Amino acid sequence: MSEPMGQKVLLSSKEINIILHRLACQLLENHLDFKNTVLIGMQPRGTYVAQRLDKILRSAYGVKHIDIGFLDITFYRDDFRRGDKTLSATQTKIDFLVEDKKVVLIDDVLYTGRSIRAALTAIQSFGRPSEIELLTLIDRRFSRHLPIQPNYRGRQVDAINQEKVKVMWEENDGEDAIYLIDR
Amino acid sequence: MSELSVKHLLGIKYLNEKDIQLIFETADNFKEVINRSIKKVPSLRDITIANIFFENSTRTKLSFELAEKRLSADVINFSASQSSVKKGETLIDTVNNILSMKVDMVVMRHPNPGAGIFLSKHVDAAIINAGDGAHEHPTQALLDSYSIRERLGDVSGKKVVIVGDILHSRVALSNIFALKLQGAEVKVCGPRTLLPRYIESLGVGIETDLRKALNWCDVANMLRIQNERLDISYFPTTREYTQQFGVNKTLLNSLEKDIVIMHPGPINRGVEITSDVADSKQSIILDQVENGVAIRMAVMYLLASKIK
Kindly state whether residue A9 falls inside one of the protein's structural domains. Answer: no
* Contact list, B26 vs chain A (CB under 8 Å): 88-89
Neighbours of A44 (CB within 10 A): 14
pLDDT by residue for chain B (308 residues), tens only, comes to 489 999 999 999 999 999 999 999 999 999 999 998 889 999 999 999 999 999 888 889 999 999 999 999 999 998 877 666 667 788 888 888 888 888 999 999 999 999 999 999 988 899 999 999 999 999 999 999 999 999 999 999 999 999 999 999 999 999 999 999 999 999 999 999 999 999 999 999 999 999 999 999 999 999 998 877 777 888 899 999 999 999 999 999 999 999 999 999 899 999 999 999 999 999 999 999 999 999 999 999 999 999 87
* Contact list, A90 vs chain B (CB under 8 Å): 29
Looking at residue B273, its amino acid is I
Instruction: Name the class of domain B12-136+289-304.
Output: alpha beta
- Select from B38, B46, B304 the Cβ nearest to the Cβ of A125: B38
- Between helix A13-31 and helix A46-61 the angle, nearest 10°, is 70
Contact A108, B26 (CB under 8 A): no
CA–CA dist B77, B64 (Å, integer): 11
Q: What is the interface pTM, i.e. ipTM, of the complex?
A: 0.81
Q: How far is B23 from chain A (nearest CA, A)?
A: 11
- Indicate the pTM of the whole model: 0.90
Kindly state whether residue A7 falls inside one of the protein's structural domains. Answer: no
Does domain B138-287 correspond to CATH entry 3.20.20.140? Answer: no
Q: Which domain holds residue A146?
A: 16-78+88-157
Domain boundaries, chain B: 12-136+289-304, 138-287
Query: CA gyration radius for chain A?
Result: 16
CA–CA dist B98, B119 (Å, integer): 13
* Contact list, B35 vs chain A (CB under 8 Å): none
Q: Do domains B12-136+289-304 and B138-287 have the same CATH topology?
A: yes
Can you list the positions of beta strands (E) in B183-274? Answer: 185-189, 205-207, 219-222, 260-262
Kindly state whether residue A61 falls inside one of the protein's structural domains. Answer: yes
For A109-144, b where at least 16 C-beta lie within 10 A, e where not — what string? Answer: bbbebbbbbbbbebbebbbebeebbbbbbbbbeeeb
- Spatial CA neighbour of B165 closest among B114, B109, B238: B238
CATH of the domain at A145: 3.40.50.2020
- Number of structural domains (chain A) is 1
Kindly state whether residue A3 falls inside one of the protein's structural domains. Answer: no
